[in-house]
C-alpha cells in the first residue's frame, strides 16, 4: 500500500476474479448488450486478475430509482406521496420530451399539450361511454399518436424555431378551445372530472391505496425510461445522432443514405403515443383532466426542469424534475418566490452552463484541459521535459524519469560549451580531449540515429559534406547545406558545430 493516495483511479470499483471468468460477459438475452460494462484485465502493478466496472451510470440509476420508489413509501405521508407522484408524472413527460427535443432534434413545445389531449380524450370517453381504465389507457395512447401525427405534418416543412413557435401556438389554441367548449368542461373552468380510476376515491384515503397509486406512477416513469432507452440507445438513435447538430450534419446524413426525416417522425410518433399514454394515466389517477395540462406556465416549468437538468439526457430530465418539483411543492409557503427561484435557476443554467447540470462535468473537464494547455504553452524553459500535469497521461513512469534525466544532462552540458572547448575540438577533432569535451561528444554519440548529422564523402580526400540521416531504412540522408569541406577534420568540426547549435537551441 502506498503512503499517499493520489489520483482517482483507486475509486474505480474492481473485483478480483478467477481465470475462467475474467473475460466472461453476461449478455441480455436476445441482444449483444450487457447490463454493466465490466472489463477483465491483469492489474499492471499487482498482476492480479480483476474485473473493473468502466461505467458507473447504471449503478447510480439503480440507487436513484430505488430511492425514488422507497422514500415516499417509507415516509407514508400524503404530502410526500403527492410530491413524489408529481415527480414521477412530470419526469415521465420530460423523458419522452427529451426524446423529441434531444434525440429527434425537433423543437416541439407541444408535448404537454399531447399529454393533455390524451387525458381529455380518455376522460371524455370514460364519462360518455363508461369505459374502464385499461381501455382509457389504450384510447389515450391512440389519441396521443393521432395528435403526434397531426403536429408532425408541418414539421416536414418548417424547421427549427419556426416549428417551436407553431407548437407553442398549438398548445395555446387547444387551451382556449377547451375553455370555451361546452362538452369539454367549459362550464367548470376547463376541468373535466368523473373518469374511471385505477385506485378508487375511497381507497385513496387509505395508506395502502396511496402506495398502490404511487407505485403505478412510478411504473409509468419506468415505462417511459424504457422507451427512451430502446429508442435513443437503439439503431434509430444512432441514425439520428448523425443528423443531429447542424444543417451540414443533415446533409451528411442524407448523403450516406440515412432518411433522417422519416426517423425523426417515427421517434416523434412513438413519443407522442407514449405521451398520450401518460396523459390517460393522469386521467385514471386523478379521475379526470384539468386545464393546467395546457397552460403556458406549466409548459415553462417543464422546460425549466429539462434545461436545469441538461437537455438531451434522461438523467438530466429526471434530476431536473426532482429539483423543480421539490422546490415548487415543498416550499409552498414561499409563494411566488419559489417560481422566481426556478426561473433564476433556469436563467443561470442557460447563461453559465452549456448543457445544464449534467453537462457541467464535461464543461469543467474542458476548462481544466484549456488551463493545462495554456500553462504548458507559457512554460517554454522546460521544453521536452516532463510537466507535472502530464503525469496521468503517461502510463510508463520510466519515460518520465528518462526525460527528466536527459534534461538535467543537457543543462549540464550546455554550461560546459565555451569558445575554448570549440577551439579545442577545431584543433583536433579526433585527438585526445579534455574531460568536458569528451563528455559532450559522448552525449552526441548516443543520440538516436534519426536527424543525426554525419559526414558524407563526395570524393575521397577532396570534397566532404554534412548530411542528416533520415533514420528510416531505405530513405537516403538529406543534405543540410551546400558547403563542401576539403579535408575530413574540417568536416568533423562542421558536424560538431551543428550539434552544438542544436543542443543550445533545445532547452
Partner 1 sequence: MIELIASGLVLASMYGLVAVGISLTWSSVGMLNLAQGFVFTFGGYVAFLFAQYMAKNFSIRDGVLLSLGVVLLGMIGSAIAGLIVGGLAFLPLHDRVNFPVRGLIATLAISIMGTQIFMLIFGPQSKPLPQIFGIKRLKIGEFSIAYGQVGTIVVATVVLLIVTLWMRRSRRGLQMRAMMMNPLGANMVGVSVRTTGMIALAISGALAGLASVLLGQIFFVSPTSGVQPLIVGLIISLAGGLGSMPGTVLAAVLLGFAEAVTARYTEQSFVPFVQFALVIAILTFKPRGLGGVLEDVRE
Residue 344 interacting with partner 1 (CB under 8 A): yes
**Which one of 66, 331, 337, 383 is in contact with partner 1 (CB under 8 A)?**
337
- The grid cell for 240 is 439520428
Residues in region 352-371 near partner 1 by CB under 8 A:
354
DSSP 157: T
Spatial distance between the Cα atoms of 493 and 444, rounded to a whole number of angstroms: 13
Residue 327 interacting with partner 1 (CB under 8 A): no
Q: Of 21, 11, 63, 55, whose CA–CA distance to 35 is shortest?
A: 55
Closest approach of Cβ 167 to partner 1, in Å?
11
Cα–Cα distances in Å, from 313 out to 61, 76, 99, 475?
Answer: 13, 31, 9, 53
Binding mask 90-109 for partner 1 (x = CB under 8 A): -----------------x--
Closest approach of Cβ 99 to partner 1, in Å?
17
Residue 401 interacting with partner 1 (CB under 8 A): no
Where do we find the cell 381507497? 203
Candidates 54-62, 231-239, 349-357, 419-427: pick the segment binding partner 1 (CB under 8 A): 349-357
Helical pair 247-255 and 260-286, crossing angle rounded to 10 deg: 110
Residue 445 interacting with partner 1 (CB under 8 A): no
Give the HSE-up count for residue 40: Cα atoms under 13 Å, Cβ half-sphere.
11
**Which one of 12, 70, 230, 340 is in contact with partner 1 (CB under 8 A)?**
340
Closest approach of Cβ 275 to partner 1, in Å?
20
Q: Are strands 478-479 and 463-468 parallel, antiparallel or unpaired?
A: antiparallel
Closest approach of Cβ 254 to partner 1, in Å?
16
Residues in region 272-301 near partner 1 by CB under 8 A:
296-297, 300-301
| Angle (CA) 129 132 133, round 5° | 125
Helix (H) and strand (E) counts in the chain: 17, 8
CB 227, CB 271: distance < 8 Å: yes
Rank residues 160 and 392 by Cβ distance to partner 1 and give the closer one: 160
Rank residues 27 and 247 by Cβ distance to partner 1 and give the closer one: 247
- The grid cell for 142 is 391512440
Q: What is the dihedral of CA 233, 237, 242, 247, to 10 degrees?
A: -140
Residue 346 interacting with partner 1 (CB under 8 A): yes
Closest approach of Cβ 344 to partner 1, in Å?
6
Rank residues 60 and 162 by Cβ distance to partner 1 and give the closer one: 162
Which secondary structure element, helix H or strand E, spans residue 148, and what is its range?
Answer: helix 133-152
Name the β-bridge partners of 463: 459
Q: Of 264, 241, 265, whose CA–CA distance to 253 is shortest?
A: 241
Residue 158 interacting with partner 1 (CB under 8 A): yes
Closest approach of Cβ 186 to partner 1, in Å?
8
Residue 333 interacting with partner 1 (CB under 8 A): no
Q: Of 77, 33, 223, whose CA–CA distance to 141 is shortest?
A: 223
Residue 172 interacting with partner 1 (CB under 8 A): yes
Residue 331 interacting with partner 1 (CB under 8 A): no
The answer for residues whose C-beta is within 8 angstroms of residue 300's C-beta and 6 or more apart is none
Closest approach of Cβ 233 to partner 1, in Å?
24
Spatial distance between the Cα atoms of 355 and 149, rounded to a whole number of angstroms: 29
Residue 16 interacting with partner 1 (CB under 8 A): no
Closest approach of Cβ 245 to partner 1, in Å?
9
Q: Of 341, 278, 315, 270, whose CA–CA distance to 121 is shortest?
A: 278
Residue 254 interacting with partner 1 (CB under 8 A): no
CB 116, CB 174: distance < 8 Å: yes
Candidates 60-68, 171-179, 264-272, 432-440: pick the segment binding partner 1 (CB under 8 A): 171-179
Q: Where are the beta strands (DSSP E) in 121-193?
A: 192-193
**Which one of 42, 60, 66, 173 is in contact with partner 1 (CB under 8 A)?**
173
**Which one of 53, 127, 164, 417 is in contact with partner 1 (CB under 8 A)?**
164
**Which one of 22, 73, 168, 488 is in contact with partner 1 (CB under 8 A)?**
168
Ordered DSSP codes for 29-41 = TTSS--SS-EEEE
Binding mask 183-222 for partner 1 (x = CB under 8 A): ---x------------------------------------
Name the β-bridge partners of 288: 193
Rank residues 211 and 298 by Cβ distance to partner 1 and give the closer one: 298
**Residues of this chain that bind partner 1 (CB under 8 A):** 107, 154, 157-158, 160-162, 164-166, 168-170, 172-174, 176-177, 180-181, 186, 247, 296-297, 300-301, 303-304, 307, 335-337, 339-340, 342-344, 346-347, 350-351, 354
Amino acid at each position: 500500500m502506498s503512503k499517499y493516495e493520489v489520483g482517482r483511479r483507486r475509486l474505480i470499483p474492481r473485483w478480483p476474479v478467477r481465470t475462467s471468468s475474467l473475460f466472461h460477459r453476461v449478455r441480455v438475452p436476445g441482444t449483444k448488450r450487457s447490463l454493466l460494462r465490466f472489463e477483465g484485465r491483469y492489474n499492471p502493478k499487482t498482476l492480479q486478475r480483476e474485473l473493473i466496472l468502466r461505467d458507473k451510470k447504471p449503478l447510480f440509476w439503480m440507487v436513484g430509482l430505488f430511492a425514488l420508489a422507497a422514500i415516499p413509501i417509507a415516509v407514508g405521508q400524503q404530502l410526500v406521496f403527492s410530491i413524489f407522484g408529481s415527480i414521477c408524472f412530470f419526469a415521465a413527460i420530460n423523458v419522452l420530451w427529451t426524446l423529441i427535443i434531444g434525440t429527434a432534434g425537433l423543437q416541439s413545445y407541444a408535448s404537454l399539450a399531447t399529454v393533455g389531449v390524451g387525458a381529455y380524450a380518455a376522460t371524455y370517453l370514460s364519462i360518455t361511454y363508461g369505459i374502464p381504465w385499461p381501455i382509457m389507457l389504450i384510447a389515450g395512447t391512440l389519441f396521443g399518436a393521432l395528435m403526434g401525427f397531426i403536429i408532425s405534418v408541418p414539421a416536414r416543412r418548417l424547421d427549427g424555431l419556426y416549428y417551436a413557435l407553431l407548437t407553442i401556438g398549438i398548445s395555446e389554441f387547444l387551451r382556449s378551445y377547451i375553455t370555451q367548449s361546452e362538452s369539454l368542461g367549459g362550464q367548470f373552468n376547463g376541468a373535466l372530472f368523473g373518469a374511471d380510476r385505477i385506485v378508487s376515491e375511497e381507497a385513496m384515503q387509505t395508506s395502502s391505496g396511496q402506495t398502490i397509486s404511487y407505485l403505478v406512477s412510478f411504473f409509468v416513469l419506468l415505462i417511459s425510461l424504457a422507451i427512451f432507452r430502446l429508442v435513443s440507445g437503439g439503431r434509430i438513435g444512432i441514425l439520428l445522432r448523425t443528423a443531429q447538430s447542424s444543417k451540414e450534419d443533415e446533409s451528411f446524413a442524407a448523403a450516406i443514405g440515412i432518411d433522417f426525416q422519416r426517423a425523426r417522425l417515427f421517434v416523434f410518433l412513438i413519443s407522442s403515443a407514449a405521451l398520450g399514454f401518460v396523459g390517460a394515466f393522469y386521467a385514471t389517477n386523478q379521475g379526470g383532466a384539468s386545464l393546467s395540462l395546457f397552460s403556458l406556465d406549466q409548459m415553462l416549468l417543464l422546460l425549466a426542469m429539462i434545461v436545469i437538468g441538461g437537455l438531451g439526457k434522461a438523467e438530466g430530465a429526471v434530476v431536473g424534475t426532482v429539483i423543480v418539483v421539490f422546490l415548487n411543492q415543498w416550499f409552498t409557503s414561499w409563494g411566488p418566490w419559489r417560481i422566481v427561484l426556478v426561473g433564476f435557476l433556469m436563467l443561470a443554467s442557460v447563461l453559465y452552463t452549456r448543457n445544464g447540470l449534467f453537462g457541467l462535468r464535461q464543461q469543467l473537464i474542458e476548462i481544466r484541459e484549456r488551463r493545462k494547455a495554456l500553462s504548458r504553452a507559457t512554460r517554454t524553459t522546460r521544453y521536452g521535459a516532463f510537466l507535472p500535469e502530464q503525469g496521468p497521461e503517461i502510463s510508463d513512469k520510466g519515460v518520465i524519469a528518462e526525460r527528466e534525466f536527459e534534461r538535467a544532462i543537457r543543462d549540464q552540458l550546455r554550461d560546459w560549451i565555451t569558445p575554448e572547448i570549440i577551439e579545442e575540438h577545431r584543433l583536433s577533432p579526433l585527438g585526445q580531449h579534455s574531460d568536458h569535451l569528451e563528455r559532450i561528444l559522448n552525449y552526441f554519440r548516443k543520440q538516436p540515429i534519426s536527424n543525426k548529422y554525419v559526414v558524407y564523402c563526395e570524393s575521397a580526400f577532396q570534397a566532404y559534406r554534412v548530411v542528416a540521416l533520415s533514420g528510416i531504412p531505405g530513405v537516403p540522408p538529406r543534405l543540410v547545406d551546400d558547403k563542401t569541406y576539403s579535408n575530413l577534420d574540417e568536416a568533423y568540426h562542421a558536424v560538431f558545430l551543428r550539434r552544438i547549435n542544436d543542443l543550445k537551441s533545445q532547452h
